[in-house]
Amino acid sequence: MNYNIHPIFVHFPIAMLVVYSIIKILPLQKWFPNVAWRDIERALLLIGVLGAFAALATGDTAEHLTHPNRQLVNLHSTFAGISTGLYGALLLGEIAAIANARYLRSSNMLRSFSVQIERLLCHRVFSAVIAFVALLSITLTGLLGGAIVYKTTADPLAGIVLKMFGITL
């Protein structure tokens, strides 16, 4: 027997990535300078992205088990992929930063590439913008997931958003 375990896997990474985005966007480092924000961000991002991959994998299974509105599922899946990709890119920047600091000390082509990745994806303003766009994307993903399950009854914005995308239930 097949079970829809997607709802079990989606909520935890959403929570981790939303909290990560809030920390990244707000100037918490200035307000609370004695907190190791970068370590907290990295932990939230790593756990959230790994969980997002699990949610993507279980989403494919849920799609085949429930047979909801195809257009709505495709849009939900698209925004889930965008969210995972954006947060994954931020994680790639953090991995590059760790690799540069701990493992890639000699000057070579790999280090040069890794430094460029770090400079781009860990830039304070650029990473905050990516985190904001990712937060919007993950919010839309959740709204569309709720619309798949509850139609427009659970979220007052669901009807408006579905209308914007030309989806009727």
Residue type (1 letter), 115 = V
Specify if 1 maps to a domain: no
**How far apart are alpha carbons 46 and 62 in whole angstroms?**
24
Specify if 44 maps to a domain: yes
Specify if 28 maps to a domain: yes
Query: Structural domain of residue 121, as residue ranges?
Result: 6-164
Nearest to 84 by CA among 114, 132, 52, 38: 52
Specify if 89 maps to a domain: yes
109, pLDDT greater than 50: yes
Specify if 22 maps to a domain: yes
Specify if 169 maps to a domain: no
Are 142 and 14 in contact, with CB atoms under 8 Å apart?
yes
**How far apart are alpha carbons 144 and 111 in whole angstroms?**
41
Q: pTM (2 decimals)?
A: 0.91
The tokens for 18 are: 């939303």
Specify if 75 maps to a domain: yes
Q: What confidence category does residue 129 fall into, taking pLDDT thresholds of 50, 70 and 90? A: very high
21, pLDDT greater than 60: yes
Q: What confidence category does residue 152 fall into, taking pLDDT thresholds of 50, 70 and 90? A: confident
Please compute the mean of the pLDDT values over residues 145-154 and round it to a whole number.
88
Specify if 69 maps to a domain: yes
Q: Render pLDDT for 45-69 as a digit per residue (tens, 0 to 9).
A: 999 999 999 999 888 777 767 767 8
Please state the domain count of the chain. 1
Are 53 and 10 in contact, with CB atoms under 8 Å apart?
no
